[in-house]
Amino acid sequence: MNELENELFTRVRKTVENMRPGHPWISMNNIDLLKSAGMFLKDQSTGKQGITLAGILIFGSELIIQTALPHYRTDAILRKENLDRYDARYDIRVNLLRSYERLMHFIAKHLNDKFYLEGDQRVSLRDKIFREAISNLLIHREFSNPFPAKLIIGRDKVNIENGNKPHGNGMIDPEDFSPYPKNPKIAKFFKEIGLVGELGSGVRNIYKYNKIYSGADPEFIEGDVFKTVIPLTANLGAHVSEHAGEHVETIDMTPKILEFCENPKTRIEIQEFLGIKSRSYFSQKVLKPLIKGGLLKLTIPDKPKSPNQKYYSDR
């Protein structure tokens, strides 16, 4: 127990108390809290008891983590100018709670933020996206795999990679996939302190909020290395329409459309508002992705091709 960070136990108690007054962890000592979280167990065959690897990874000092898992580390890399090496780097070997803080700090330092009105509450899109992405990186990692977890900020996208025990291969469709708990004890703990939601919600939330943040779809690729690709610009750059000379910048297009469509608008009204001449370009590259991502709704959903169709945002 001396190799665990006592201060983190105090912070966890305060966090759950703020979220749910009367939570049983508030009055527990450190060992009882670990037992309640399934991170201090007894081997029924030998009678020995002690802290699990999950408990070490969440509360442990850097020394005990490196003793248990010498290969454990997470690389946070900024690679915008020096593409052969890096512009900045964090070599993170601390526990998962400290790792979450450092990775979020790295993101806040090197990525611009965008604010979005969700209902009547203003939220940070950057934090919404990377809170989920970083939690997924830490929670669903295969810790026995020596492959170092990586978060790489590039010029036009963020690549996130971690060792994985795959239950399938290839691209994940956020609208049609079956999430599988990789480290259930760690996932349950992160959910208890409010850093993640229900299993599978992270992928859907990244997809939802990145459509607003950059206008582009993220990618989730299952394999021995799980990869998440988060575009920072719409379709990794500006699009050129079918009409010669018509250049359409799609960065920041989505927030403008959602604001414009707070009251239902026709396709023609939205297209004219954006100054896009090509109907096919507008339909394929702008309108359909927003509908698929759930950002625009149809006033006549049963007849998507109705001439009276209008589109609205329920943000």
Which class in CATH covers the domain with range 74-235? alpha beta
Biggest alpha carbon–alpha carbon distance for the chain:
77
Q: How many helices (H) and strands (E) does the chain have?
A: 12, 15
Higher pLDDT, 290 or 159: 159
Query: In which band, very low, low, confident or very high, does the pLDDT at 250 lie, cut at 50, 70 and 90?
Result: very low
Q: Do domains 74-235 and 239-312 have the same CATH topology?
A: no
60 pLDDT band (50/70/90 cuts)? Answer: very high
238 pLDDT above the threshold of 60:
no
Which residues are within 8 A (CB) of 144 and not within 5 positions of it... i.e. 6 or more apart? 163
Domain boundaries, the chain: 6-68, 74-235, 239-312
| Dist CA 100 CA 308 (whole Å) | 48
CATH architecture of 239-312: Orthogonal Bundle (1.10)
Mean pLDDT score across all residues of the chain: 88
pLDDT (average), residues 84-106? 96
Task: Kindly tell me if the per-residue pLDDT of 276 is higher than 70.
Answer: yes
Tens of pLDDT, residues 299-311: 999 999 999 999 9
Per-residue b or e along 136-169, where b marks 16 or more CB atoms closer than 10 Å to that residue's CB: bbbbbbbbeeeebbbbbbeeebbbbbbbbeeeee
Query: Can you give the pLDDT at residue 243?
Result: 36
